[in-house]
Amino acid sequence: MVKFKINNKEVQGNKEDTIWEIAKSNGISIPHLCHSDEVGYKPDGNCRACVVQVKGERISKSFY
Amino acid sequence: MNTINKRAPGRRDKVYFNKGRQLDLSAFEEAKKILDSYRPFKKDMLIEYLHLFNDKFHGLYAKHLRAIAELTKISMSEVYEVASFYAHFKIIDDDALPQSEVTVKVCDSITCFMNKSEDLYSQIKDSNFNARIEKAPCMGRCNLAPVVEVNHNHICNANLEKISNAIKTKDYLYKNDNFISLEDYRSNGGYELFKKLQEGTVTFDQFIKCFSESELRGLGGAGFPAFKKWQFVKSYKGPRLMCINADEGEPGTFKDRFYLNKDPHRFLEGTLIAATLVEAQTCYLYIRDEYYGLIKLIENEIKKLESLNIISKDFLVIRRGAGAYICGEESALIESIEGKRGLPRNRPPYVAEVGLFGKPTLVHNVETVYWIREIFEKGGKWFSSHGRNGRKGLRTFSVSGNVKSPGIKLTDAGITINELIEEHCGGMLDGHKFKGYLPGGASGGILPASLGNIPLDFDTLQEYGCFIGSAAIVVLSDKVDIKSIGLNLMKFFEDESCGQCTPCRNGTSMAVKLMEQKDWDIDLLNKLSVTMNKASICGLGQAAPNPLQCIIKYFEEDLK
């Protein structure tokens, strides 16, 4: 289990989950285009609508 | 569509036909003949197969694509997807269309553009050659711009007369310069170091020590220390693989072509040493298709090595690129070797851990391995003893543009552009005044003459929004229109964007539209640049706004 804050709201989820999934299961919707819950629409991380800044890295990472 | 002359049962007068694109039997026989020696078919060889057809028929006919899919059991959509991704594959939808034997490609990248390649292109268009005429990106001979390719023949300082001569005399071959032969290389102690490493008289640790002293960094552009790469790759569980990146596509760069041609065995020995260091099982040499003659040359030299038992058969495998700039990005290169479209991967995992075919992979640029033998023989300190202005090492600059003697300049890392022009390039062309320069090809940004005293090396240009990359220097004079240079570079990125991620695919084409306007919308361009730089997957999209940003920052006068 991991715990962290999104928009000042305490959230938690499994370690294997992505930030996006944890946000969703906690009722926070993050815009996205590249995937859907349906079969065959796995997250590719190429629409880049959701990105995170990783501390110490120059470039943002997609957080699918 | 094949119809069968029979009515279908049912109420409507339907005719039987098979759905989808049908197999053309004569094309299938042709394909069988061509591909027969390649059995069993492998998916990662798809690009090689396509090359065979593209060479033979001067294009890829739809019927052949269908036949390849049938033979190799790769799905039709995948064959088409790969074939249409690469610029050198010319797909011909209409099977009845006759072949066009000659293709004339006019380079429209930065230095050729400065040397009026646009005018040359329209002249060629007007002169009714019996040939396919196209624009193409950098061909790696920028010191002799403008360059035109007639099939594989590179015509330097091209003009109409030279081109029509080449077509008349059917002179389509790529011409290599003289190179150091295997005999000469071996008589000079060649392959001794490789032998010693195999026998264990020199060890991995000795190499690490030597190369950490030498501070040799990856010379493809990213500048990652070579010895650290070896340590990383070796730390992951084998089997491991190695790739050589000879897909030198950065406009303005021609150092790899120079080294491959000049001393192919020094390059090959370096490759073998690096492969042995990380205990790679196979090493793939990915060489760009523009250097067709070099591919043949290297292939020939590898055969000689195999016949002398210096290497085992199929240890070094050549893969031919197909005209995609993006395949110079290491993960895109790996995808391309796997026979797919060259789409860069999301990281992590890094290729040192999960690379080619999912194995830990060492990827080196040509020049990096070229230095290995010399540095080990002369000692790491020898290499790092060079350099000026507080920087260390040697750097190979590919200089082109408005200088008297452009070309390959091997000199100290950290040299400034002013020193480089004066000491190595014979000064500016007569009547030209130094106005600015590109320190690292298309993606490295543009700096003004007033910043002509910055040491040129990795890490020194970041604060100015630039980077040295592959050390491709293009010198611009006051006769050059900076705005058109910016537009040319952005058009290049638009063409070469792989289309995978949105910020790069849409960002580059939007930037082109904005930059085509007379007055630039600076605010919007700035916002666009930030998005592209922060959110693109790979270096292409991240670096594409560099020249644009530099123009806004340093060349305000030219925007008015």
pLDDT tens track for B382-395: 999 999 999 999 99
pLDDT tens for residues B72-109?
Answer: 999 999 999 999 999 999 999 988 888 888 999 999 99
The verdict on a CB contact (< 8 Å) between A46 and B534 is no
Contact B451, B548 (CB under 8 A): no
User: Which residue of chain B comes nearest to A64, CA vs CA?
Assistant: B346
B231 touches chain A (CB under 8 A): no
Closest partner residue to B502 (CB to CB) among A48, A53, A61 is A48
pLDDT over threshold 60, residue B3: no
Chain A nearest CA to B546, separation (Å): 15
In this predicted structure, what is the pLDDT of residue A54? 81
Q: Going by C-beta distance under 8 Å and a sequence separation of 6 or more, which residues neighbour residue B510?
A: B528
Q: What does the DSSP 8-state code read for residue B442? A: T
Question: What's the CATH code, domain B182-377?
Answer: 3.40.50.11540
The verdict on a CB contact (< 8 Å) between A62 and B346 is yes
Chain A nearest CA to B512, separation (Å): 20
pLDDT over threshold 90, residue B533: yes
pLDDT tens for residues A27-64?
Answer: 998 888 888 888 888 888 888 888 888 887 766 666 55
Name the average pLDDT for chain B: 94
Length of chain B: 560
Per mean pLDDT, which range of A38-42, B35-39, B198-202, B429-433 is the poorest?
A: A38-42
Residues 533-552 of B with CB under 8 A from A: 534-537, 542
The verdict on a CB contact (< 8 Å) between A60 and B542 is no
In this predicted structure, what is the pLDDT of residue B238? 84
Instruction: Tell which CATH classification among 1.10.10.1590, 3.40.50.720, 3.20.20.220, 1.10.3210.10 matches the domain B20-92.
Output: 1.10.10.1590
Dihedral (Cα; B186, B190, B196, B199), 10-degree rounding: -50
pLDDT tens for residues B297-354?
Answer: 999 999 999 999 999 999 999 999 999 999 999 999 999 999 999 999 988 899 999 9
pLDDT over threshold 80, residue B8: no
**Residue whose structure tokens are 């109409």:** B160
Contact B241, B361 (CB under 8 A): yes
In this predicted structure, what is the pLDDT of residue B95? 84
pLDDT over threshold 90, residue B15: no
Domain boundaries, chain B: 20-92, 103-168, 182-377, 394-477, 482-559
Report the top-level CATH class of B394-477.
alpha beta
Q: How far apart are CA A60 and CA B503, in angstroms?
A: 12
A45 touches chain B (CB under 8 A): yes
Q: Which of B268, B256, B245 is nearest to B194 (CA)?
A: B268
In this predicted structure, what is the pLDDT of residue A16? 85
pLDDT over threshold 50, residue B136: yes
* Cβ density class B284-305: b for 16+ within 10 Å, e for less: bbbbbbbbbbbbebbeebbeeb
Tokens representing B217? 């960094």
In this predicted structure, what is the pLDDT of residue B124? 95
H/E segment holding residue B282: strand B280-287
Tokens representing B216? 């040799």
- Within 8 A of B349 by CB-CB distance, chain A residues are none
First to last CA, chain A: 18
- Within 8 A of B536 by CB-CB distance, chain A residues are 48, 59
Q: Facing residues of B245 across strands?
A: B286, B365
Contact B453, B434 (CB under 8 A): no
Architecture of domain B482-559: Up-down Bundle (1.20)
The verdict on a CB contact (< 8 Å) between B501 and A33 is no
Contact B237, B360 (CB under 8 A): yes
In this predicted structure, what is the pLDDT of residue B525? 97
In this predicted structure, what is the pLDDT of residue A59? 63
User: Which residue of chain A comes nearest to B346, CA vs CA?
Assistant: A45
Q: What is the CA radius of gyration of chain A?
A: 12
The verdict on a CB contact (< 8 Å) between B535 and A48 is yes
**Percent of chain B having pLDDT more than 90?**
92
Per mean pLDDT, which range of A54-58, B4-8, B62-66 is the poorest?
A: B4-8
pLDDT over threshold 70, residue B291: yes
Domain spanning B103-168: CATH superfamily: Glutaredoxin (3.40.30.10)
CB pairs under 8 A between A and B: 28
Q: What does the DSSP 8-state code read for residue B451? A: G
A46 touches chain B (CB under 8 A): yes
| CA distance to B167, B220, B472, B548, per residue, from B475 (Å) | 33, 20, 10, 17
Domain boundaries, chain A: 1-64
pLDDT over threshold 80, residue B268: yes
Tell me what the mean pLDDT of segment B362-370 comes to.
Answer: 97
H/E segment holding residue B228: helix B226-235
ipTM over 0.95: no
In this predicted structure, what is the pLDDT of residue A58? 67
In this predicted structure, what is the pLDDT of residue B1? 47
